[in-house]
Amino acid sequence: MDVAASVTLLGTWRATVAGAEVTVPAACQRIVALLGLSGRLSRPYLAGTLWGDLDDVRALRRLRSTLWRLPAAARPLIEVTDTALRLAPGVDVDVARVTAMAHALTEGGREVAPDEALALLSGPDLLVGWYDDWVVPERERINQLRVHALEALADRLTAGRHFGAAIEAGFAAIRADPLRESAHRIVIRAHLAEGNPASALRQYDRYRRLLHSQLGLDHPSPDMVALVESIG
């Protein structure tokens, strides 16, 4: 029978088994995190990713010794074979839930609850405080996935005339990527659709000043300029 277990990778690493939080050494945390992000991995690939500064033999030896130190309470998290490792079936991973929600929004496959979507997509970054070579690109990948999903959510909410929620989703996308013009345009369009041109112009001006201070650019793109010039 599967043991109820969960792994949190957004924000601070955390794992629970049968409702109790488990304490895991840092090296073991990295094994669990990489499996939670990548699925089933061969022993050589896992060892090479985590200990790339070592030769293959020593990296595999390090993997074996790290697995040996995995506390008994945490062992239900991982399935280990002679050739590969993966998270045990049924382990809930927050990144997987975010990914599923993002795809539901960007691919339009199913209806989603806006409040649930916004809460799930507005959480902290992946593994805050970790700077391993394999973490940084994963953090950016998940951030971009979230931003696209938040923009899609904001567009849906604007089309449904839920303007307050649309603007909230747009600002969540801006917080995730402050210089992303498409997120600012979504907020401006929501203000315009609601009949608030002054709010739209203020948002445009905030973005214009941000571009100048951060990138030295005097003007946003022609599409952004055309959007505010349409205000008559």
Does residue 213 sit in the same domain as residue 135? yes
Q: Is the pLDDT of residue 131 over 90?
A: yes
Cα–Cα dist 131/144, whole Å? 18
Does residue 99 sit in the same domain as residue 84? no
Range of the domain at 208: 94-229
Q: Is the dihedral of CA 51, 52, 56, 57 positive or negative?
A: negative
Mark which of 90, 110, 142 sits at the end of a domain: 90
Does residue 162 sit in the same domain as residue 216? yes
Backbone angles phi, psi at 226, to 5 degrees: -65, -35
CB atoms within 10 A of CB 143: 14
Q: Is the pLDDT of residue 224 over 80?
A: yes
Averaged pLDDT, 134-159: 96
Does residue 57 sit in the same domain as residue 125? no
Does residue 106 sit in the same domain as residue 78? no
Number of domains in the chain: 2
Structure token pair of residue 188: 């401006």
pTM attached to this predicted model: 0.91
Does residue 222 sit in the same domain as residue 113? yes
CB atoms within 10 A of CB 37: 21
Q: Is the pLDDT of residue 211 over 50?
A: yes
Q: Specify the range with the lowest mean pLDDT, choosing from 80-84, 104-108, 189-193.
A: 104-108
Does residue 40 sit in the same domain as residue 27? yes
CATH of the domain at 161: 1.25.40.10
Q: Is the pLDDT of residue 177 over 50?
A: yes
Mark which of 28, 63, 90 sits at the end of a domain: 90
Mark which of 56, 74, 90 sits at the end of a domain: 90
Does residue 57 sit in the same domain as residue 122? no
Per-residue model confidence as pLDDT tens digits over 134-146: 999 999 999 999 9
Averaged pLDDT, 64-68: 96
Does residue 50 sit in the same domain as residue 121? no
Q: Is the pLDDT of residue 3 over 70?
A: no
Does residue 116 sit in the same domain as residue 74? no
Residue 1 confidence (pLDDT): 42
Backbone angles phi, psi at 69, to 5 degrees: -85, -5
Averaged pLDDT, 23-36: 97
Does residue 115 sit in the same domain as residue 53? no
Q: Is the pLDDT of residue 158 over 70?
A: yes
Does residue 82 sit in the same domain as residue 125? no
CATH of the domain at 12: 1.10.10.10
